[in-house]
Amino acid sequence: MPRTIRFHLDENGARALGEGLRRHGIDVTTTPEAGLIGATDEEQVAYALPLGRVIFTQDGDFLGIHRRGIPHAGIAYCPKDSRSIGQIVDGLVLIWDALEPEDMTNHLEYI
């Protein structure tokens, strides 16, 4: 397992978000890159978990996945239209900088 957090952006993640994270040298995959367009939230989790990728989402349904105790490598959640792309990037960079992957395992972090 890598020693730094890696992210996966769900279908709601803006392309600019991935680009912003990559400018900071952060390893990130997107739903289109992973061939997961139209995948269920559970399929997104099943993709990200074995790869140790924290899912970033603005989809409140992922909160239910966390509440139901479905194992995940971490979920970073930001309510839709509550933050700018730059603010979200800053929040994810802070998570990447301050936490280890094991800190995020089965953890939900609000941005």
Q: Which residues pair with 97 in a beta bridge?
A: none
**pLDDT at residue 100 in the model:** 95
Residues of the chain with pLDDT under 70: 1-2
Tokens 């399929």 identify what position? 43
CA dihedral 79, 90, 103, 39 (to 10 degrees): 50
Phi-psi region of 93 (alpha: psi -120 to 50; beta: other; left: phi over 0): alpha
Strand duo 53-57 + 28-30: pairing: unpaired
**pLDDT at residue 2 in the model:** 57
Global pTM reads 0.93
Backbone phi, then psi, for 92, in 5-degree steps? Answer: -70, -35
Domains belonging to the chain, first-starting first, are 6-110 (3.40.50)
- Distance, CA of 31 to CA of 28 (rounded, Å): 10
Q: 9-23, pLDDT tens digit by residue?
A: 998 777 889 999 999
